[in-house]
Amino acid sequence: MTKTYDTGHPIWCAGCGHFGVKGAIQHALDDAGVPMHEAFVLAGIGCSGTVQNNIGAYGFHAMHGRVLPNAIGASLANPDLTVVAAAGDGDGYAIGAGHLVHALKRNPNLLYVVMNNGVYGLTKGQDSPTKEVPLAAPEEDPLDAMLLGLSIRSSTFLARGITTRSTQLNELMVMGLEHARQGKGMAFVEVLSPCVTYHDTYPEWMNKIHDVNADPGYRAEDRGMAFATALELVEQDRIPIGLIYHGKHPSLQDEILRELVPINALSEEKAAETRAHMDNVLAAYTV
């Protein structure tokens, strides 16, 4: 066997929520039986942005904020890959906010995991968009990415877990990965993943979380109900967790790819066809 990189030990502080997130991603890949060479884990920049180093799959360290476009590009180019994008709340919701809106709108077949700790861990503790009482503007409400996700009509899978509830988190991650792998579009899983060093929210969040799926009347396929429920909780200063929304919409791949074949290898059989096409193209400019 060819030796590949050593998956080693994460660099996170002891107690960091990100360990749990990594575990859940790994669990989902295992559960789906994805061979490591068919998994492509792309991550942003931040403490969260090192998760790819310790999984054993193909890994990519994106620029800060750009992991979603990168992951979409990869998922289009090679639909055989299982694409997982991971980011922090700074990476995903601050510098990456525009890409998030447009990724949800496009609904590409991939799993997007945001490790929300309400803080910029790697740069040592600045407020992130989800920080509850930002230093800069004491009453700026935190961004709730589930509400945001619900407002984009082509979103298909929105869930929030917390590292302290690993069973649920694993379930959500498994479902999300399945969603993506089955070509149903983008599974967006936010994980409450506390930063013990700069913003230890364990106690606070444990008190605030509310599992929407606990209510048997909750219908995750009803966008309106999902929004109303989440909004109500948020307005009561609680944090909705669980499978918030699960709907149907053509995926980006459905729309944009003629065939679900990887385009990273130029197929030899098609060479003649391709050449004929190029001749036609050139003919359009021939005088």
Ligand X SMILES: Cc1ncc(C[n+]2csc(CCOP(=O)(O)OP(=O)(O)O)c2C)c(N)n1
User: For residues 198 and 47, is the Cβ–Cβ distance under 8 A?
Assistant: no
Question: In what helix (H) or strand (E) does residue 85 lie, and over which residues does it extend?
Answer: strand 82-88
**Contact call for residue 119 and ligand X (CB under 6 A):** yes
* Single-letter residue type at 39: A
Residue closer to another protein by CB (options 167, 286) is 286
Residue closer to another protein by CB (options 76, 212) is 76
Q: How far apart are CA 226 and CA 244, in angstroms?
A: 6
**Contact call for residue 205 and ligand X (CB under 6 A):** no
Distance of CA 47 to the CA centre of its chain: 16
**Contact call for residue 139 and another protein (CB under 8 A):** no
Count other C-beta atoms under 10 Å from residue 282's C-beta: 9
Q: How far apart are CA 189 and CA 209, in angstroms?
A: 15
* Single-letter residue type at 253: Q
**Contact call for residue 63 and a copy of itself (CB under 8 A):** no
Residue closer to another protein by CB (options 155, 168) is 155
Q: How far apart are CA 63 and CA 70, in angstroms?
A: 9
Residues 87-146 that bind Mg ion (CB under 5 A): 88-89, 117, 128
Nearest distance, CB of residue 160 and ligand X, angstroms: 16
Stretch that binds a copy of itself, among 10-18, 32-40, 102-110, 169-177 (CB under 8 A): 102-110
Task: Work out what residue 70 binds among ligand X, ligand SF4, another protein, none; the CB cut-off runs from 5 to 8 Å by kind.
Answer: another protein
Q: How far apart are CA 144 and CA 153, in angstroms?
A: 16
Task: Work out what residue 89 binds among Mg ion, ligand SF4, a copy of itself, none; the CB cut-off runs from 5 to 8 Å by kind.
Answer: Mg ion
Q: How far apart are CA 272 and CA 248, in angstroms?
A: 39
Binding site for a copy of itself (CB under 8 A): 94-99, 101-102, 105-107, 129, 136-141, 143-144, 147-148, 150-154, 223-224, 227-228, 231-232, 234-235, 249-250, 252, 254-256
